[in-house]
Amino acid sequence: MAKKEKIYLSGKHGLFLSLTVLLIMLVVYFSAPDVFEAIELRLLDWRFRLRGPRDPGSLVKLILADTADRHHYGMDIVFRDKLAGVLEQVCADGARVVGLDLYFSGDVSRAPNEATRHLIRAVDQCGNVVMGFNWSYGSSSSRLARAEAIGRRRLLDAARSSREPGFTPDMIPEKAQVADPAVVRHATAIGYFTIMSDAERRAHKVPAAQVFQRSLFFPFSLAVVRAYLRPKGLGLSHEPNQAPISELDLGRLELRPDPQGYLWLSFYGAANVFPYLRFGDAVENGVPADFARGSIVLIGVSGDDSGDLFDTPFSAGAPGIVLHATAVANALSSGFLVRDLPVRAIEITILVLCALLMGLLIPRLPPLPAIVLGPVLIAGVLLFSGTLFQRSGIWVQLLCPLLEIILLHLSLMSVRMKFAERSAFLTAPSSEANRSRSANEESPSSPRG
């Protein structure tokens, strides 16, 4: 009898409720409504701010043409001439790669003028300049490459291969918007500028690749990374008696896109977290000695009127070139957030474990431990996901498991209270009858006549 009194709720009822809520949360998890994704991204921003800024190192450096520079030099003939001079200085200083995140004004169909020819000569002499383009999404034949569709192995091999056509300037897609075809044609590699942002211009991810006419095209940041690593790949020696080299493995490049084919940025800090130099200062005073030596130098625009601003967890209105620099640093340090299929398996495991633990324990625990179980599980999920995020950059989403725990806690405790009330109501009359019967048995017998 004492053993039955410890069961505060039927185990079958608790398990049924937990499995029902689990099924609902799995449907929500796989359908991924936009409203839940928006909340999850807010939680991701909160995690970055809680983690705090981190040092990206000094490998990636920026040269920024701010509002004053663009008003002073324009973005056409004079700017091209000054840009050519800056390129010559940066390359003479020993830059490993130079990336141009720029567009030029003016009619690109006209014959190249002297400033454009100067820029072409500078690009040729550097031999390590990466330029970009934007997609025209009106073309129905271009689409984002899903990681599961193209396969992780093909994605990695294409990003590493020195023969991948998607990086070469002669493979610029049709209807692509380029800075100037005459200049881009002389670049070492190309990549698209596209950065995915929401309606509020908050950016978190970069498409890993685009599929166009059965070819893969990669983002500007990965084109810069490949140009940086290519000397090591081309420097591989091959002995005649060895088997042919079938795959170019650059080792340090580790890409782990999510199942939709996106690379999630791991932000380092505010917009000024990377070492930078004003374009005007580089023109007027020259590039400081050793500023570019052995580095990746990205040249782009900044300023409120640039039209290339995005919100990040640490900064409102960060220039797009800062996001490209973040992606370059992430790729070279294997620092992109991990959001691949194994992480999703971890999330599903958390959902199942929480449902089973609560469904099996709450019916059998005393009142106080049963009340505390939900908050303890929430704290455990937060601690576990926070540790993975801090140490390994593994992004375990929080919304579904936390909602599941809250729903299970409320539903199981409510049902348990109803069971307790019903049990008390059903046992009250019989207890009163027992007490009356005992009182009658204990009273003295009446005298006999």
Residue 136: band (very low, low, confident or very high) from pLDDT cuts 50, 70, 90: low
Structure tokens at 75: 């973005």
Instruction: Give whole-number Cα distances, 146 to 163, 258, 341, 434, in Å.
Output: 22, 9, 13, 72
Instruction: Scan for tokens 């300049």, then name that residue.
Output: 129
Comparing 157 with 205, the larger pLDDT belongs to 205
Report the pLDDT averaged over residues 339-360.
93
| pLDDT value of position 65 | 94
| pLDDT value of position 87 | 96
pLDDT at 160 over 70: no
| pLDDT value of position 231 | 47
Residue 430: band (very low, low, confident or very high) from pLDDT cuts 50, 70, 90: low
- Proportion of the chain above pLDDT 90, given as a percent: 45
Residue 391: band (very low, low, confident or very high) from pLDDT cuts 50, 70, 90: very high
Dihedral sign from CA coordinates of 358, 363, 365, 367 = positive
Domain boundaries, the chain: 2-31+340-428, 55-234+249-332
| pLDDT value of position 218 | 86
| pLDDT value of position 110 | 64
Q: Can you name the residues that pair with 216 across neighbouring β-strands?
A: 211
Q: Beta strand pairing status for 210-212 and 215-217?
A: antiparallel
| pLDDT value of position 319 | 93
Residue 5: band (very low, low, confident or very high) from pLDDT cuts 50, 70, 90: very low
Report the pLDDT averaged over residues 390-418.
90
Instruction: Give whole-number Cα distances, 309 to 202, 213, 305, 398, 445, in Å.
Output: 9, 31, 9, 28, 97
Give the other-Cβ count within 10 Å of 317's Cβ.
Answer: 15
Residue 19: band (very low, low, confident or very high) from pLDDT cuts 50, 70, 90: very high
Structure tokens at 117: 């020819």
Comparing 368 with 153, the larger pLDDT belongs to 368
| pLDDT value of position 251 | 44
Report the pLDDT averaged over residues 33-57.
89
| pLDDT value of position 416 | 79
Q: Between 341-361 and 367-392, two packed helices, what is the crossing angle to 10 degrees? A: 170
pLDDT per position as a tens digit, 176-221 = 788 888 898 899 889 988 887 877 788 999 888 887 777 788 899 9
Q: pTM of the predicted model, to two decimals?
A: 0.82
Residue 164: band (very low, low, confident or very high) from pLDDT cuts 50, 70, 90: low
Q: Between 114-126 and 77-92, two packed helices, what is the crossing angle to 10 degrees? A: 20
Cβ-proximal residues to 222 (8 Å cutoff; 6+ apart), any chain: 159, 191, 208, 255, 327, 331
pLDDT at 48 over 90: yes
Report the pLDDT averaged over residues 60-75.
92
Residue 88: band (very low, low, confident or very high) from pLDDT cuts 50, 70, 90: very high
| pLDDT value of position 123 | 94
| pLDDT value of position 259 | 82
The per-residue pLDDT of the chain, averaged, comes to: 81
Comparing 418 with 143, the larger pLDDT belongs to 418
- The amino acid present at 88, given as its one-letter code, is E
pLDDT at 330 over 90: yes
pLDDT per position as a tens digit, 223-263 = 998 888 864 433 333 334 433 333 333 445 677 888 888 89
- The amino acid present at 337, given as its one-letter code, is L
Residue 334: band (very low, low, confident or very high) from pLDDT cuts 50, 70, 90: confident
